[in-house]
Amino acid sequence: MHVTLIPLKIPILEVGQDLGKAIVAAVKEQDFRLRRGDVIAVASKIVSICQGRIVRLSEVRVSGTAKTLARKWKMSKQLAQVVMGEADVILGGVKGFLLTLKYGVLTANAGVDMKNSPPGTATLWPTNPDQSAKELRGMLERRYKCKIGVMIVDSRVTPMRLGTTGLAIGISGFHPVRDERGKPDLYGREIRFTRTNVADDLAASAHLLMGESKERAGVVVVRDAPVELSESGSGRAAKLNLERCLIARNLSEAR
């Protein structure tokens, strides 16, 4: 299996700009065309900016609860307030960060981030990431007349590991999980539990090229990825509820 990753330079986008047109322009500049089976990995930050998912921190009204959280976890009270508004559940925190659930994902600060956000602002996760990915896929498929996949990628931290990796928070056009159960392992034993999260594997590869600072590689085309295209493919298939998650369930019980 040979997978090719093609990073695309995207200009700094502003609220209301058409992300699809920016991607088409970047593809044209690289002098190639999208083709069937390509998976387009898009940084969540540029999706959010195009959607206007930006908060000016000086305009945030801070509640007493946010002030308490900010003192406890030594973070900006305005940031604490924005995270409170975005999080579905707050599970705890460390200095500068809250551990939250957002869209069924265990993540820091509910996806709220000030890095690579315009000065004085924080950027939120895109609205309905699966739907956002679906809309972008529809536009690109019409433009290039081929079936592709799209995923919206953000960074995440892994428990007890230092540094960020990639996470597919929105998926459209392909099945995110490959079921390995029933297949033989190297010694002929039947695999009983394993599934492969293909989407997050690809997101981690794309994230490596996107970077976390000023690389501006906000889009990565993943070519010849081992994915099964599907009109119904979405991120829902990659999510676990709290009761089935080894980490989240034990965090909840400890809390």
The pairing of beta strand 105-108 with beta strand 149-157: unpaired
Q: What are phi and psi of 154, to 5 degrees?
A: -130, 170
Q: Which domains, from first to last, does the chain contain?
A: 4-53+126-254 (3.30.1330.100), 54-124 (3.90.1660.10)
Place of tokens 């993943």: 222
Give pLDDT tens digits for 102-136.
998 999 999 999 998 989 999 999 999 999 999 99
Q: What is the mean pLDDT of residues 65-79?
A: 97
Residue-level pLDDT at 215? 79
Q: Are 11 and 22 in contact (CB under 8 A)?
A: yes
Q: Are 235 and 175 in contact (CB under 8 A)?
A: no
Q: Output the CA–CA distances (angstroms, integers) from residue 68 to 57, 81, 84, 197, in the order listed.
A: 18, 10, 12, 38
- Does pLDDT of 250 surpass 60? yes
Q: State the Cα–Cα distance between residues 124 and 189, nearest whole angstrom.
A: 45
The pairing of beta strand 164-174 with beta strand 177-179: unpaired
Give pLDDT tens digits for 42-56.
999 999 999 999 999
- Does pLDDT of 253 surpass 80? no
pTM here is 0.93
Q: Are 48 and 54 in contact (CB under 8 A)?
A: yes
Give pLDDT tens digits for 143-189.
999 999 999 999 999 888 999 999 999 999 999 999 999 999 999 99
Mean confidence (pLDDT) of the chain: 94
Give pLDDT tens digits for 80-107.
999 999 999 998 999 999 999 999 899 9
Q: State the Cα–Cα distance between residues 159 and 31, nearest whole angstrom.
A: 41
How many angstroms separate the most distant Cα atoms in the chain? Answer: 62
